Amino acid sequence: MSTTPTFKRLPRAVREQQMLDAAVKVFSRRGFHAASMDEIAEDAGISKPMVYAYLGTKEELFVACLHREGTRMMEAIAGVINPEMPADQRLWHGLRAFFRFVAAHRDGWVVLYRQARGEQPFAGELAVMRARMVEVVAGMLDRALRADGREVREIDLEIQAYALVGASESLADWLADRPDADPDQLAARMVNIAWLGAGQLLSGEVWRRPTEG
């Protein structure tokens, strides 16, 4: 397919986004190995050499898709969290933004969560993004604790953050397959589940293992 005149007149950044949009759709449908550059070019309405010229090989294109979708997701969450909010409100706003992002970018979520996890080197890219998310959540909990005059061991914060991120990812994957599900309602349910544990952590309450007899 030849590149359309309209495409040639677009700014370079817009052209790249258009190609990434097409790539995300194809990768989400086909997976990395089955997706073809021909199909991506056709969906974008441009020639295959143009895709290579702008975004490189199929592997480089997939990584570019991961980076864009991951950055969009992080920006959506960061954009609604005010450090001055109480911890439970930050959790609510962050989760709502996260689930709304997944509901609005289902193809992007499939590429991020389903396609990348089992493929190297993409799994490594995803792990870096996930570590950033865990760091953000752990930092939020730490700030809430310090504001309350308390400190918790770093390992406890890390475990709490990993548990929250993992549960949220699983629910987001559930949401991705259910177009009729309400992301706000799902966020509220997740806050109810997560805040019981986080709230107890903040107040210093812990469950203790029974003594082995």
**Residue whose C-alpha is closest to residue 175's, from 124, 87, 114, 117:** 114
Residue 205: Cβ-neighbour burial (10 angstroms; 0-12, 13-18, 19+): exposed
Both tokens assigned to 4 = 């359309």
What is the average pLDDT across 70-93?
Answer: 88
Residue 188: Cβ-neighbour burial (10 angstroms; 0-12, 13-18, 19+): middle
Q: Which domain holds residue 12?
A: 5-56
**Which tens digits make up the pLDDT trace of 113-161?**
998 887 778 888 889 888 988 998 888 878 877 777 777 788 888 888 8
The CATH number assigned to the domain holding 122 equals: 1.10.357.10
| Same domain flag for 109 and 148 | yes
pLDDT above 90 covers a percentage of the chain that reads 50
| Same domain flag for 81 and 131 | yes
pLDDT of residue 4: 58
CB 71 within 8 Å of CB 53: no
pLDDT of residue 87: 79
pLDDT at 8 > cutoff 70: no
Residue 188 resides in a domain: yes
Give the span between the Cα atoms of 156 and 129, in whole angstroms. Answer: 21
pLDDT of residue 213: 46
pLDDT bucket at 39, cuts 50 / 70 / 90: very high
| Same domain flag for 126 and 186 | yes
pTM for the whole thing? 0.84
Q: Spell 45-78 as b/e; 16+ CB within 10 A means b.
A: ebbbebbeebbeebeebbbbbbebbbeebbebbe
pLDDT of residue 160: 84
**Which tens digits make up the pLDDT trace of 155-213?**
888 888 898 899 999 999 999 999 999 999 999 999 888 877 666 665 666 667 777 64
What is the average pLDDT across 63-84?
Answer: 91
Residue 211 resides in a domain: no
The CATH number assigned to the domain holding 38 equals: 1.10.10.60
Q: Spell 127-161 as b/e; 16+ CB within 10 A means b.
A: eebbeebbebbbebbeebbeeeeeebeeeebeebb
pLDDT at 2 > cutoff 60: no
